[in-house]
Structures are given as C-alpha cells and as structure tokens.
Amino acid sequence: MPKLWNETIDAHRAAVRDAVLETTAALVAENGLTSVTMSQIAKDSGIGRATLYKYFPDVDAILLAWHERQIGHHLDHLAEVRDRAEGAGERLEAVLRAFALVSRASRQHHDGDLSAFLHRDRQVIEAQQRLHGMVEELLADGAQAGAVRDDIAPGELASYCLHALTAADDLPSEAAVHRLVALTLAGVRPGALDASEGPQRTDGAVHPPHHHGHHSAHGTHEARS
C-alpha cells in the first residue's frame, strides 16, 4: 500500500479518535459521568456505533484515553514553560505557577464522580512521578545556583511544593493562586525557616513546617487533567 495512502488512513483514524474523545469529554461535562452512553457518543461524534466499537470497547476506555491525552498535554506544557524561562530560580517559579494554574482549572472542569474515576488511572501515578522528577531537578539546579535552600534534599522540597500547591484547586481566583505560589516558593528560598534540626518541642507537638518533606508527591490532576 502506498505510503501516502497509509498516512491518509492514519490521519483519518487520529481525527476520528480525537472527535470521540472530545465529544465524550463534552458529554460528561454537560450531563455527568453516569449518563453518557456509547450510542450518544457515536451520534454526537457523527460516526456509527459499529465504528465507535472498533476504536473503544466502552465509555470507560474512552475516558481513560482522553485522560491520558490530557496528562500528556499538561506535562508538555510544563516542559515548554520550563524551557522558556531563563535562570534556575525563574524556571522553578514558572513551572510551579503553571502547575498550580493547570491544577485549579482542571479541578473546576471535573465533577466529583469523574475526578474519582480518573484518579484511579495508572497514568496519574506515572504523571505524578514525572512531575516530581521535573520539580526535583529544578530545585537541585536552584540550589546549585544559590536560588534554593540546600539544607533539605531536593526530593523532599519537591514533595513540599507539590503538596502545598494542591491547595490551588479550591482557591477562588487566579490572584489567590499567585499568592499561594509566592508563599510556597518562600519556603524553599535560602534563609527560610531552618528545618534541619527536626522537632524541638518536648510536649509531643511538631512544628508544621517539619511535616512537608515527609510526604510522597501527588502533584498533578492534568494530568488532575
């Protein structure tokens, strides 16, 4: 079969797949997760049910494919933001700000049922690991450049940053998100509160700042897509 013909077929299949994903996402956003059917998706996508079943076995498979694509887009966006910034400190701030804004926007477009369903997806775990690695690398670069504290391991600081920024999901405005990012960054700057000695109180209580470095990262929804 000629190469051009193969490319045309591949392009057609990709277009059909994208149409199905977009249609399904729109239907779920409009009607809720439990009300969407394969027949409705086929009708609104402009394809036959038999054709739809050649691409996906059920609605869940479509949603997982859509989520995988969204996560990929979010991670690519964060990488682009990182590469556009100059200087270690600027790159870190740009990525954390972009992550917080994407996280908030994604949460606002998902109902509770859809969010619960998507976060069982293995893609979420893989995305969290990639995101944590990206932020950890930025923090290590920042520490080398003197823009980030070096008394705590970059991996612990990455967990702190990503956990702190999940609060962006429930903030009322982008201005509030920017304030949260500034507050989070203040905790990783040189000269921030010394956490190297651990808890110092004798009554069993622990100062809140010492908790941050001991959680595992659960950073992206995109992605939370």
Give the tens place of pLDDT for each residue, 158-207.
999 999 999 998 899 999 999 999 999 999 999 877 765 555 544 444 44
Q: Give the span between the Cα atoms of 181 and 174, in whole angstroms.
A: 11
Tell me how far the alpha carbon of residue 49 is from its chain's centroid: 32
Give pLDDT, residue 151: 95
% the chain with pLDDT above 70 = 76
Question: Residue 33 corresponds to which tokens in the numbers above?
Answer: 């997760």
Give pLDDT, residue 220: 42
Do residues 67 and 122 lie in contact, with contact meaning Cβ atoms separated by under 8 Å? no
Give pLDDT, residue 115: 62
Q: What is the gyration radius of the CA atoms in the chain, in angstroms?
A: 21
Tell me how far the alpha carbon of residue 223 is from its chain's centroid: 3
Q: Give the span between the Cα atoms of 124 and 133, in whole angstroms.
A: 14
Average pLDDT of every residue of the chain? 83
Give pLDDT, residue 30: 87
Average pLDDT over residues 147-158: 96
How does residue 55 score in pLDDT terms, banded at 50, 70 and 90?
very high
The domain 59-192+205-225: what is its CATH number?
Answer: 1.10.357.10
Burial class (CB in 10 A: 0-12, 13-18, 19+), 104: buried
Task: Name residue, tokens 């027949």.
Answer: 39
% the chain with pLDDT above 90 = 56
Question: Residue 53 corresponds to which tokens in the numbers above?
Answer: 């079943």
Higher pLDDT, 113 or 156: 156
Higher pLDDT, 96 or 121: 96
Q: Give the span between the Cα atoms of 91 and 82, in whole angstroms.
A: 5
- For 48, other C-beta atoms within 10 Å of its C-beta total 11
Long-range residue pairs from 43-46, CB within 8 A, at least 24 positions apart, any chain: 45/16, 45/19, 45/20, 46/19
So where are the chain's domains?
1-57, 59-192+205-225
The domain 1-57: what is its CATH number?
Answer: 1.10.10.60
Task: Name residue, tokens 């920024």.
Answer: 165
